[in-house]
Amino acid sequence: MKLPLQIRFTDIDIYGHVNNAIYAEWFDTGRFALLTSLIPDMDPKGKSVVMVHLETNFRKQVLRNDEVVLDTRVTKVGNRSIGITQHIVNARTGDIHADSYGVLSTYDAVRQGSFDMPDLWREKFMQVLEK
């Protein structure tokens, strides 16, 4: 899933580039957009997913006038988890500004633990699995 990113005035820090903390917000926005497009009835008060692992590589600064796009892909589907790979890409040059890999685990808010992924969820994730 590709999502154009808007650079806001408040995203720019004293050094003239997008602050690294904003990248985390962008990655979260992309994960949320992907999940809600695939499984719109996921309920954070019931059965949902939570982040259990996250790593980010900052490769090149994003400047105020850059046009950037977030590419979010499911790259792994397990029994109780999915792996998501994301790239912040310069729309003009194709340069990768940052990349991230995260693992989301199923989570039952009532039971306070993980559960086997429902077949419907698995089917949806498998449909977009990057091969």
Check residue 59 and give its pLDDT.
Answer: 98
Check residue 119 and give its pLDDT.
Answer: 95
Question: How far apart are the two ends of the chain, measured CA to CA in Å?
Answer: 14
In the structure encoding, which two tokens stand for residue 37, read together?
A: 């497009």
In the structure encoding, which two tokens stand for residue 26, read together?
A: 């962008």
Secondary structure (3-state) at 13 = coil
Supply the pTM of this predicted model. 0.93
Strand intervals (E) in the chain: 2-5, 47-58, 68-77, 81-90, 96-108
CA dihedral (119, 120, 124, 125) positive or negative: negative
Look up the CATH number of the domain holding residue 36.
Answer: 3.10.129.10
User: What string of pLDDT tens digits covers the 131 residues of the chain?
Assistant: 999 999 999 999 999 999 999 999 999 999 999 999 999 888 878 899 999 999 999 999 999 999 999 999 999 999 999 999 999 999 999 999 999 999 999 999 999 999 999 999 999 999 999 87
Domain interval for residue 45? 2-128
Number of domains in the chain: 1
